[in-house]
Amino acid sequence: MGFIKQFQFAWVFALLLVTAPVIGENNSSKETTSNGSSNSALHLKALLEPVHSLRGSFTQVLRDAEGLVLQESEGKFAVQRPGKFLWHTAAPFEQVLLSDEKELFLYDPDLEQMTIRPVDERLQQTPLLILSGETTQLLKHFEVKQLSDDRFELTPKSESGSGAGSAFQTLTMAFKDKTLSQIILLDGLGQQTALDFSQLLVNPVLDAAVFTLEVPPGTDILRDE
């Protein structure tokens, strides 16, 4: 499994903190488009724009196309605009994914191994980076559809690579009391990943140490350029 696939389910938070300002910047001349995507994007922007940092817990359930549960996991996360996030899966297998804006770190304690990869153009096209920071062309790559007052569906545009090789086909964001409560991801194989969030703190002050990863001596360090 490649590096991008390894963090395919964590990336979701990169979408949160970048979307709001990006939608505002790209949407000013498109508010009257006939497909309604711009108006939907503005509504999503209104929910996301006040969020500069976020911290909480998550549960994740992966199901196949028939609805059979393939994997369940849980952990904690933290996100800070721009470009910083921590996704710590605690069970059933511990794994830490971290971004400090410039590099991505994937640490597997069981394997005593950490993989480091620069945040390059290709990774900036993935949902992971969309949420935390450096994407400035959200509407260029995604259609936004408002399903209800508190649910939005994002679909990659065909020119952005929404085929079988894309990280997802659709991404649905649900809010409760104007706070993100769930993200549902449907991939090209028909598999569905549901992420439910709890114990959320909106705009907490996050110490720089939160986005610093220290590993035990003897850990194998692999650089994936």
Residues 6 or more apart whose Cβ sits within 8 Å of residue 32: 38
Tell me how far apart the alpha carbons of residues 121 and 98 are, in angstroms, rounded to a whole number.
18
pLDDT score for 90: 92
Number of domains in the chain: 1
Domain of 219, CATH number, reads 2.50.20.10
pTM of the shown model: 0.79
DSSP state of 10: T
Residues 6 or more apart whose Cβ sits within 8 Å of residue 201: 54, 55, 56
CB-based burial label for 205 (10 Å; 0-12, 13-18, 19+) = exposed
**What is the residue-level pLDDT of the chain in tens, covering all 225 positions?**
444 444 555 555 555 444 445 444 554 444 444 455 678 877 887 787 788 888 999 999 999 999 999 999 999 999 888 778 899 999 898 999 998 878 889 999 999 999 998 876 555 445 444 454 433 445 566 788 999 989 999 888 765 444 444 567 888 989 999 888 998 989 888 999 899 999 999 999 999 999 999 999 999 999 987
pLDDT score for 9: 53
79 and 132 Cβ atoms separated by less than 8 Å: yes
pLDDT score for 76: 94
Instruction: Give me the domain span that covers residue 163.
Output: 3-223
User: Among 215, 209, 217, which residue's Cα sits nearest to residue 109?
Assistant: 215
Give the Å distances, CA to CA, from 109 to 1, 97, 115: 17, 12, 12
- Residue 114: other Cβ atoms inside 10 A: 20
Give the Å distances, CA to CA, from 1 to 48, 65, 184, 185: 32, 20, 22, 19
Helix (H, G, I), strand (E, B) or coil at 28: coil
Tell me how far apart the alpha carbons of residues 44 and 61 are, in angstroms, rounded to a whole number.
24
